[in-house]
Structure 1
Amino acid sequence: MSQEVQVPEFIAADPELWFAMAEASFYSAGVTQDRIKFGYIVGALPAKYATEVRYIIMNPPTDGAYHKLKTELIRRLCATQEEKNRRLEREEIGDRKPSQFLRHLQGLADPTIPESRMKSLWMKRLPKSVQVSLAIVKDISLQDLAVHADNIMEASRPPVQKLNETASIEAIISAKFAQIALGLNQEIATLRAELATHADRSRRNRSGDRSQHRPRSHSRSLQPFDGNCWYHWRFGAKSTTCRKPCKYAS
């Protein structure tokens, strides 16, 4: 019993690769019938690409429908090898790493192109300083040579560029610390205001308590009463003390 086929998402830029992946899924699931393959492919095609092979989908041949659909779709979407070769001669490295650029060229090149030819096409697009450094490297594969070129490019980057990257990181960190410091200062200011309010309230409460419980001064208690001082008012002739003003007559 065959398994369910997992057809990958369509790769418009490389339909040959997509069909190879789909066929690997067919093989894993045990799907061998042409019409079943045809149905899976039609179901996976986005509408804009299905229109490229509309006449095959609408009127599939009795035999070899899958093969016909595959051949025609690749023909319509893929550039011819002559076009790829012309593009291969024009490609520039741009901002890609040497290893990325090599993989890009290999994707354009005919699979039968010799490695020596690919190496020549690749190396002559690299910066001159990298070409000189690679010229003395011997007896390693083209892929390893590309990794070596990546390391040379990284080491030869202008110090200003590295400094700018470091400065950018430091600027981000500084901004974060400034944000944290601002938040802490705001919290401290709020806390100080709350403490000041609490202290002021406590001070007013203590002042009120003292005014309510302040004892009468002794001098007030000794003020004249009906013209006499407190001692003569209290003890009369028996008083041995007198406080002026006092009109008591002995």
Structure 2
Amino acid sequence: MSKEDGKEQQNAVALKLPTFWTTQPQVWFEQAEAQFHIRQITADTTKYYYVVGALDQETAGHVIDFLRHPPSDDKYEEIKKLLSNTFGLSRRARAARLLHMDGLGDRKPSMLMNEMLTLMDGHKPCFLFEQLFLEQMPEDIRLLSYCSMCIARQA
């Protein structure tokens, strides 16, 4: 056993990932990868088995064929891809949510912005995104924003 293997085994004992979040797989993987980094877990197989250990019965049932026959290489990346594709929103679903949001509601504008940026999935916001955001604001705030933009253009 190499020194690195011993280190992974020692760190592996201290890690307990939360049950996989089917409603937000990308967020769950960010949390899991932070835990792997903190504990210096880098081995593909170790990360894979931690993920498998965090699946509930129903989720594991959805991917049972993969669990029975995992690939010989890149197990972690492949299960991450499978779970993200199975439970995450598709590109079209994210776009539809952006286009058909229900307004600000009882959220702060910053919370709405964070939700919208999450739906962008790493894409850079553009002028259409800004417009979609403004359309979620109450009319008085939206009008104030438009007036501010007009003043800024004249300056």
State the partner residue of 2:118: 107
State the partner residue of 1:79: 89
State the partner residue of 2:129: 118
Alignment of 1:203-218 (within 5 A): none
Q: Distance in 2 between matches of 1:135 and 1:32?
A: 50
Query: 1:24 offset after TM fit, Å?
Result: 1.6
Query: 1:83 offset after TM fit, Å?
Result: 1.8
1:48-95 Cα shifts (integer Å, max 9, x gaps): 111121111112222222221111111111121122112211112152
1:206-249 Cα shifts (integer Å, max 9, x gaps): xxxxxxxxxxxxxxxxxxxxxxxxxxxxxxxxxxxxxxxxxxxx
Query: Structure 2: which 5+ runs fail to align?
Result: 1-6, 150-155
Q: Distance in 2 between matches of 1:126 and 1:26?
A: 39
Amino acid at match of 1:27: H
Alignment RMSD: 1.9
Q: Distance in 1 between matches of 2:41 and 2:104?
A: 43
Q: Distance in 2 between matches of 1:40 and 1:115?
A: 38
State the partner residue of 1:93: 103
CA contact (8 A) 1:10 1:18 kept: yes
Q: Distance in 2 between matches of 1:81 and 1:113?
A: 14
Q: 2:36 aligns with which of 5, 17, 26?
A: 26
Q: Does 1:43 align with 2:57?
A: no
Matched positions, count:
138
Query: 1:100 offset after TM fit, Å?
Result: 2.6
Amino acid at match of 2:52: V
CA contact (8 A) 1:106 1:118 kept: no
State the partner residue of 2:77: 67
CA contact (8 A) 2:102 2:136 kept: yes
Query: Structure 1: which 5+ runs fail to align?
Result: 139-250
SS at match of 2:85: helix
TM-score, normalised via structure 1 length: 0.50
CA contact (8 A) 1:9 1:44 kept: yes
Identity level (%): 25
State the partner residue of 1:134: 145
Q: Distance in 1 between matches of 2:28 and 2:104?
A: 27
Higher relative contact order (CA 8 A, sep 6+): 2
Amino acid at match of 2:115: H
Q: Does 1:17 align with 2:13?
A: no
Q: Distance in 1 between matches of 2:137 and 2:72?
A: 52
Larger Rg: 1
CA contact (8 A) 2:104 2:138 kept: no
Amino acid at match of 1:63: D
TM-score, normalised via structure 2 length: 0.78
CA contact (8 A) 1:92 1:125 kept: yes
